[in-house]
Structure 1
C-alpha cells in the first residue's frame, strides 16, 4: 500500500478539510493578535491625547489623560481582538499599516 501525497489527499472527499480549518483558525488568531495590538496602541494614543481635554485645577486634567490613556488602550485592545478576525487578515494588515503611517505622520486621531 502506498502513501498518498498532499495533492491526492485534497482530492479525497473531505481530505483537505482539517488542514483548511486549521489554516483558517491560525490566520484568524494572527488577525486577532495584530488587531488587538494595533487598536490598543491607537486607543491609548488617542485616549492619552484627548483624555484631559476637560482641563481642571490642581492636575485633574493630567489624571483625566491617564485615565484616557489606560481606558482607551484597553477598549482598543478588546475591539481590535474582536473586530480584526471579522474583517480578515488582509484588511487587518491594511488598516494596521495605515494606522502606523498616521502615527509617523502625526495624523492619527
Structure 2
C-alpha cells in the first residue's frame, strides 16, 4: 500500500464537502442581497398599478432575493468545492462595492 498525497486524501475522504457547504451559505447570502437590490431597483420599472411601481419594487425585491439565494447557493457549492477562496473574494468584493457606493446597475 502506498502513501496518499494530500490531494488524494481530500478526494477520498470528501474533505471538499464542508468547503462547498460554507461556500454555498456565503454565496447564498451575497447573491441573495444582490438579487434583492437589483429587483428593488428595477421591479417597478413598468409603472405598476395606476403608475405607482411600489408594489412591483416590493415583489422584485422578494423574487430577486429568492432567485439570488438559490443561484448563490448552487454556484457557491460548485465553485467552493475546489476553491472556497474564490467565493470569499467575490462576496467580499460585492460587499465592499455596495458599502462604498460603487455599485451601479443600469437597465
Same fold (TM over 0.5): yes
CA distance in 2, matches of 1:48, 1:23: 38
Max radius of gyration: which structure? 1
Aligned partner of 1:98 in structure 2 is: 93
Give the length in aligned residue pairs.
98
TM-score by length of 1: 0.76
Change (3 A) 1:21 1:98: same
Aligned partner of 1:33 in structure 2 is: 25
Give the alignment's Cα RMSD to 1 decimal: 2.5
Q: How does 1:74-93 map to 2 (within 5 A)?
A: 74-88=66-80, 89-93=84-88
TM-score by length of 2: 0.77
- Secondary structure of the 1:75 match is helix
Q: Does 1:55 align with 2:47?
A: yes
Structure 2 stretches lacking a partner, 5+ long: none
Q: Does 1:44 align with 2:39?
A: no
Change (3 A) 1:92 1:58: same
